[in-house]
Amino acid sequence: MVVLSPRLSALSSLLLLALASHAQDSSAVASSAAVSSTALPINSLSSLASSAISSLASSAISSVVSSAASTASISLSTAATSVATSAASVPASSTVSASVSIPASASISESASAPLSSGVASESATFSAASSAAISASSAASASISATTSAGGPPIETTQFTLPISSYPFSSFPVPSASPIPGVYPSTSPKSPPPPGSRLIPDFGPAWARAHARAKKLISGWSLDQKVATTTGVGWMGGLCVGNIPAVADWPGLCLEDSPLGVRDTDFVSAFPAGITAASTWQRSLIRARGLAMGQEFKGKGVHVALGPMMNMGRIAQGGRNWEGFGADPYLSGEAAYETILGMQQGGVQACAKHYINNEQEHRRTQESSNVDDRTEHEIYLHPFLRSVQAGVASVMCSYNQINETFACEQDRTLNQLLKGEQGFQGYVMSDWGAHHSTLAAVAGLDMSMPGDISFQSHTSWWGANLTAFVENGTIAESRVDDMAERIVAAWYLLDQDQNYPEVSFNAFFPNDPQTNKHVDVQADHYKVVREIGAAGTVLLKNVGDALPLRKPRSIAIIGNDSGPSLRGPNGYPDRGGDDGTLAMGWGSGTAQFPYLISPLEAIQARARHDSSGSQISWFLDNWDLAGAAATALGQDVALVFVNAQSGEGYITVDGNEGDRKNLTLWGNADALVAAVAGANPNTVVVVHSVGPAIVEPWIENPNVTAVLWASLPGQESGNAIVDVLYGDVNPSGRLPYTIARRPEDYGTHLVTGGTGDEILRIDYTEGLNIDYRHFDAVSLPLSSALSFVSLRTADAAPEQHRAPLRVRVRPLLHHLLLLQPPHPAARRAPARPHHRRARGRLGRGARPPSSAAAAGSSTALWLHRPFLEVSFTVHNTGRVPGTEIAQLYLHYPERAGEPPSVLRGFADVRVRAGEAERVVLALSRYDLSVWDARAQGWRRPAGAFAVSVGRSSRDFRLKGELPV
C-alpha cells in the first residue's frame, strides 16, 4: 500500500490526464482558436516522471512514478482509444491507495454544537449536503489523513484529498423558488435594488431565471470546444485585463479586473477608501454609495467582472489582507458585503465575492489547510457569502488555501453543497489566479479557471483541451460543462451586459501602450463619497479636555512621515508596496492607482489659510530624528503626530513583512516618536492610519496625548477627510470593526508561521465561534485603555449623544409568529446522494449528513430571513451640536446554546439634532435567533431565554431587554 504526498497525487493526475488527452483524435482535443492553452503532450510524461523522481527520493514514491511512467509507455498506435476510455473508469484503489487515520484535530469544536442535541425549539430548517454533481461513495477521494509536528515547528498536514479519475455524471442544481410578496419580498433586478437598510428582501429569482433561459438558448448552438472556451481564461497576460474569457461566436467574452477598492492597473479612476474604512462607518448608505460609484467606474472602463468585494473575516489580527475586507464580525461583514454588491451591480458590473473560504493569512496561503468545524463555518465564515448570494452576486472566487485537506477550488462540500446547494447560488465560481489544481475541479463545483494556465504563461491548462478530452472520454459529463457555461453567460445577461456595454479601454499589463489605452476618465464626482467615507470612518478613541475639534489654533506642528507625501509620489511603489508618506491603502492586488493623493500636511495648510485668524504651520517628517521632532513640537498650540501600520498581499515583502505583519506594533519608530513629541507638547493629538489593530499601550495613557483618531485607510482624499474631523466639520461617528488588545498575546488566534518546501501547514480553527471581541468577552480579558470593538471612551467623546436613560421595547410581529414552518415549502428539493468522503466531524470530511431531504437554498429561504421581532429604542442627543450615533444591538443566547456572551445582530446610524431624540426600530429574523446544528444539519432556535442589549459596543450597553420567544 502506497500513500501519495500532495505533490505526487497531483503528478499521478497529470500522468493520467495526459494519457486521456493524447488518446483523443487531434481534432477533438485541439483548443478553440480563442483558447491559448493546450493539452499536456504525451512526450512530456517521461520528463515529468523523471523530474519527480529526482526531487523526491522516497522509494515508495519512486515506485509509484515508475508504475505510472510504464503505463504511459503503452503503444498508443494500437491502444490509444482503450487507454483513454479506461482512464475514466480506473478504480480509486488502483489510482491512489488510501491509508486513513483520524488526526487529533478531527473533532475540533464538535462540542460547540453538543448542547443542541437535546434542547432545540420546534422550528428548524434542515437540508442534506447533497450536491448535483454525483460523486459516488465507490469513487471515494483518496488520501491519508494524518498530521505531524516537527520539533519546534508548526503542525504539518502530510497529505490531501483529491478526486480520482472516474466517471462523474451530473444533474442540474434545483433552483430555489418562492412567490414574490409585495412589501416584503419584491421581485426586482440588480438595476433596481431596495434602498440601503431597507427591510425589503429583494427577490432576484425571476431575473436569474430570465438570464439563465437566455444563456441556455445562446449556448445551445455552441460546440463543446466553444463551451469549454467560455470556462477557460486565455492565460496570464493573454488579454487586456488581469483575467480574460475569449469571445465565442457573437458573444464578446469577459474582462475581469481587480480590485475591491477601485479599478486596478489603469488611470483616471478613483482610489476609494479600503473595505475596512467603509466598515468603520457602520453606515449602510455610505457603503452602498461606495459600491455604486465603483460599479460605475468598472463599467465605464469596460470591465465586466470586478474582483470584489473581499469578505474574509480578519481571524488573525496580523492578516495581511484584512484591510480589503470589512472587519472581524460576520454580521457587520455580511451587511457591508450585501450593500457593496447591491451598489456595484446597480452600477452595471458583475461583483465577485471573495475569497471563498477560510483564506485568513498570507503566509503559505497556497500550502495551508484551514481545518474548520461545520458550525463555525456556517455561523462565522459562510455568513458574508450568504448575504452576498441574497444580494444577487454574479460570481464567487474560491481561494488558494485548502479547507480540511482539500483545495478550496475543488472542495465539493463548500462549492457544491454549501454555496450552490444550501445557499442556492445561481452564478458561477471562478478560481483565484493559480488556485486551480486539476481538471476534475469541474466536478467539485469550479466553473471558471483563472487566469486559465496552470502556471503563468505556461501555455498549458487544466481545462481548455484537457476539459474537452475529459468530456469526450466520459470522465466529466457534458451537461456539467453546459452548466458551467450557462452560469457564466447568465451572469452576463443578469447585468444587461449585452446592451451597449463599453469596450475595454485600458491594458492592465502595458498601461503606456498608446494602441490599447484610451485613458477614459470615469471619476465623475466620486471624490465626494471618498471624502465622506474617509471622515465617517474615522474613529475617535480619546478626547481629553475637548482637545478636538481644533478651534483655529495659532500654531500647529505636524509631525511624522505619515503626514506628508511619498518621495516617489502616490504610485511610486508597484502595487503600493512600500511605506513612505501618508498611508491611504495597503499593498497588493487589492489596490488601484491614485489619481492624486491629498496628504494631511497639504490639507491642514489649506485649512489654516482659510481660518480668518490664520495659523502658523511647522512640520517635521523624519520619524527617526526624535530630537528634531520634539523641537518642532515645543511651544506649539497643538502637535499633530501621524503614524501608521501597513500590510498587504504576500507576493510583496515590505521591511520583512511578507504580506502579513510580523507584529502588531506601529511602523516607522512610531511609539518612540509619539513619546518624544508628547514629552515636548502637552497637547499632542495622534492620528493613526492603519490596516488593522495595533498595540498602543506605550503611549495611549500618556496625559499629554490628549486625543487619538483612528483613520484607517481613507483613499485619495485622505488629508481632506481628516481635516473635516480635526476641525469639527464632521462629528466623528466611526466605530472600530475589530478589537485593539492590550497585548498581542491577548488575541485568541495567531499567525501560523514556518513550513518549508512542499509542507502543508495545518491551521486548526479551535477557537470556534470566539474570534475577535467574542473571544475577549468569553474570557473576560481587559481591553486596551477602554478600546473595544468600538470606542468605549464615551465620557471623552464629543459630543455626547445619548446620555439620557434609554428604554427598549421588543414587539413580536404577530403575522410572522404563525409561520412556524416555511411559508413556501414547494421549493424544489435537491436529490440526496452519498458524499465522496467519510464523516470525520469536520467540514469537508463528512459523508452525507443525517438529514436527507431539503429545499435548495434552505439557508437563504424567505421564511428564515423575513422580520420576526422588532426591537425599538430612543436615542437622545443631549449635546450642543448635531451628530450621528451608531447604535448596536447584541443578542445574548441561552447559555446551553454554546454561543459567545454577546453576538452582534443589528446596527443603525442615527442622525440626531442637538437637544432632540430619534426613535430607532431594528428587526430580528428567525435566522438571527438561530444557531447551526451540525448534527441535524439545520438552523435551529435554541430553547431558553434570550436577552437583547443596545449600546455603543459589546461592552458599552445602555439598555437591556428580554425577547418573547
Enumerate the active-site residues.
432
Q: CA–CA separation, 767 vs 663, rounded Å?
A: 21
Q: Report yes or no: 159 and 147 within 8 Å, Cβ to Cβ.
A: no
Interstrand relation of 539-543 and 705-710 (parallel, antiparallel or unpaired): antiparallel
Gyration radius from the chain CA atoms: 28
Residue 397's SS3 state is strand
Residue with cell 506642528: 557
Alpha helical stretches, state H, 347-419:
374-376, 383-390, 412
Interstrand relation of 305-306 and 254-257 (parallel, antiparallel or unpaired): parallel
Label residue 407 exposed, middle or buried (CB < 10 Å: 0-12, 13-18, 19+). Answer: buried
Q: Report yes or no: 603 and 558 within 8 Å, Cβ to Cβ.
A: no
**Contacts with 151 (C-beta within 8 Å, 6 or more apart), sequence order:** none
DSSP label of 373? B
Query: Which amino acid is located at 855 in the chain?
Result: A
Q: What is the DSSP string of 274-338?
A: PHHHHHHHT-HHHHHHHHHHHHHHHHHTT-SEE---B-----STT-TTGGGS--S-HHHHHHHHH
Q: CA–CA separation, 942 vs 653, rounded Å?
A: 47
Residue with cell 455524471: 169
Instruction: Give me the residues paired with residue 449 across strands.
Output: 232
Q: Which three cell numbers stand for residue 388?
A: 452576498
Q: CA–CA separation, 296 vs 445, rounded Å?
A: 30
User: Quick one: residue 892, left, alpha or beta (phi over 0 = left, psi -120 to 50 = alpha)?
Assistant: beta
Alpha helical stretches, state H, 600-655:
600-610, 626-633
Q: Which three cell numbers stand for residue 849?
A: 449528513
Residue (of 898, 870, 865, 690) closest to 774 by Cα position: 898
Q: CA–CA separation, 689 vs 516, rounded Å?
A: 36
Query: Which amino acid is located at 320 in the chain?
Result: G
Edge-first strand order for the sheet with 956-962 is 903-912, 883-892, 947-953, 956-962
Q: Report yes or no: 304 and 318 within 8 Å, Cβ to Cβ.
A: no
Phi, psi of 607 (to 5 degrees): -65, -40
CA distances (Å), 333 to each of 338, 400, 908, in order?
8, 21, 14
Q: CA–CA separation, 452 vs 233, rounded Å?
A: 4
Residue (of 252, 244, 725, 165) closest to 448 by Cα position: 244
Label residue 90 exposed, middle or buried (CB < 10 Å: 0-12, 13-18, 19+). Answer: middle
Determine the distance from the C-alpha atom of residue 80 to the mean position of all C-alpha atoms in its chain, rounded to a whole number.
Answer: 45
Q: CA–CA separation, 455 vs 394, rounded Å?
A: 26
Phi, psi of 667 (to 5 degrees): -90, 170
